[in-house]
Amino acid sequence: MNKKTWKAGTVSSNLSSYIPKYLHSLLFSKAWEASVCEVYQRYGSKLTELDCQKRYVDLLKKLPSYGSTYFPVTYHPAELTLSKQMFQGDIIMGINAIGIHLIDVHQCKRQPNKATLTFPFQRIISWDCDKLTFFFEYHKLKSDNKSSLFTFSTPHATLIRDLMYDWLDAFKDFAVENQSRYSKKEEPKKKEENKKDSKKKDKDEKKKDKKK
């Protein structure tokens, strides 16, 4: 495939088959077509379908939200003000090994690179829920003692809370497993060091005896 054989409108006439709908508005259809044509020229004849799928998954793995379980939630600000809130209404919450990810679906259409906020476990102070509400307290900066409370209404509140605890238990098990592996590796080293120390002591004692 090259520019001579490329038919105008191949992509733009069926844009949804190539580009996610929420990204359509970022470029004109002709610009999307030119972009797809350029990438296909570069890789189309070199990569198999399986190669492309692997590259796609590799890109996904680089995202902090990779491997998340997602839930629809509604954000409720701590204070109702006239200024712009962090989120406007319904958003998506993702939970994975890194922490909590909040995705503003509306922002995805305008600025997809700024649509996701990540809250790592290391700075999440606490979390809890009732039947229809989930909340967590987050420590923003290491140098600042202030924390923020985030509240969400969702029918999945209990499931989200339990999933958070599941990840916490997984961290503990991983830490214990790594500690045991480390200890097993260190044991032979310590034994060898102890043998060397005992040999040195024996030599030193023999030298003392000879001097006497």
Residues 73 and 149 in one domain: yes
If you average pLDDT over every residue of the chain, what do you get?
Answer: 79
Pick the last residue of a domain from 61, 82, 97.
61
Summarize pLDDT for 32-47 with one digit per residue, the tens: 888 888 888 887 778 8
In a domain, 2, yes or no: no
pLDDT band at residue 132 using 50, 70 and 90 as cut-offs:
very high
- pLDDT at residue 96 tops 70: yes
pLDDT at 166: 93
The mean pLDDT of 66-72, rounded to a whole number, is 94
pLDDT number for residue 145: 72
Q: How confident is the model at residue 152 (pLDDT cuts 50, 70, 90)?
A: very high
At residue 164, does pLDDT exceed 90?
A: yes
Residue 146 has pLDDT above 90, yes or no: no
State the pLDDT confidence band at 109, using cuts at 50, 70 and 90: low
Does pTM surpass 0.85? no
Q: Of all helices (H) and strands (E), which one includes residue 145?
A: none
Q: Between 75 and 1, where is the model more confident?
A: 75
> Does 147 reside within a domain?
yes
Domain annotation covers residue 113: yes
**What average pLDDT does the segment 176-189 reach?**
58
Domain shared by 50 and 73, yes or no: no
- Mean pLDDT for 98-110 is 81
Same domain, 87 and 150: yes
Tell me, what's the pLDDT at 120? Answer: 92
Domain encompassing residue 56 = 12-61
The reply to whether 90 and 172 lie within a common domain is yes
Mark whether 37 and 85 lie in a shared domain: no
Residue 125 domain flag: yes
Domain identity same for 52 and 86:
no
> How does residue 11 score in pLDDT terms, banded at 50, 70 and 90?
confident
- For residue 74, is it within any domain? yes
What average pLDDT does this structure show over 172-197?
60
Do the domain assignments include residue 100? yes
**Residue 120 burial (CB count, 10 A):** 13
4 three-class SS? coil
Q: Let me know whether 124 and 187 are in one domain.
A: yes
Tell me the CA distances in angstroms from 143 to 99, 110, 126, one per residue in order: 21, 33, 19
* Domain tally, the chain: 2
The answer to whether residues 112 and 26 belong to one domain is: no
Domain end among 61, 78, 102: 61
Same domain as 117, residue 19: no
- State the average pLDDT over residues 63-91: 81
Cβ proximity of 112 and 182 under 8 Å: no
Q: Are residues 137 and 195 both part of a single domain?
A: yes
Asked if residue 73 is part of any domain, the answer here is yes
> E strand or H helix at 148, and its extent?
strand 147-153
How many angstroms separate the Cα of 168 from the Cα of each of 19, 63, 114, 131, 136?
37, 21, 27, 21, 15
Whether pLDDT at 163 is above 90: yes
Read off the pLDDT of each residue in 86-96 and give the average, rounded to a whole number: 85
- 25 and 118 share one domain: no
Q: What is the CATH number of the domain that holds 133?
A: 2.30.29.30
User: What own/partner pairs with CB < 8 Å and gap ≥ 24 does 154-159 have?
Assistant: 154/71, 154/72, 154/73, 154/74, 154/93, 156/71, 156/72, 156/73, 157/129, 157/130, 157/131, 157/132, 157/133, 158/129, 158/131, 159/71
pLDDT of residue 186: 54
Decide if 159 is inside a domain.
yes
Same domain, 124 and 184: yes
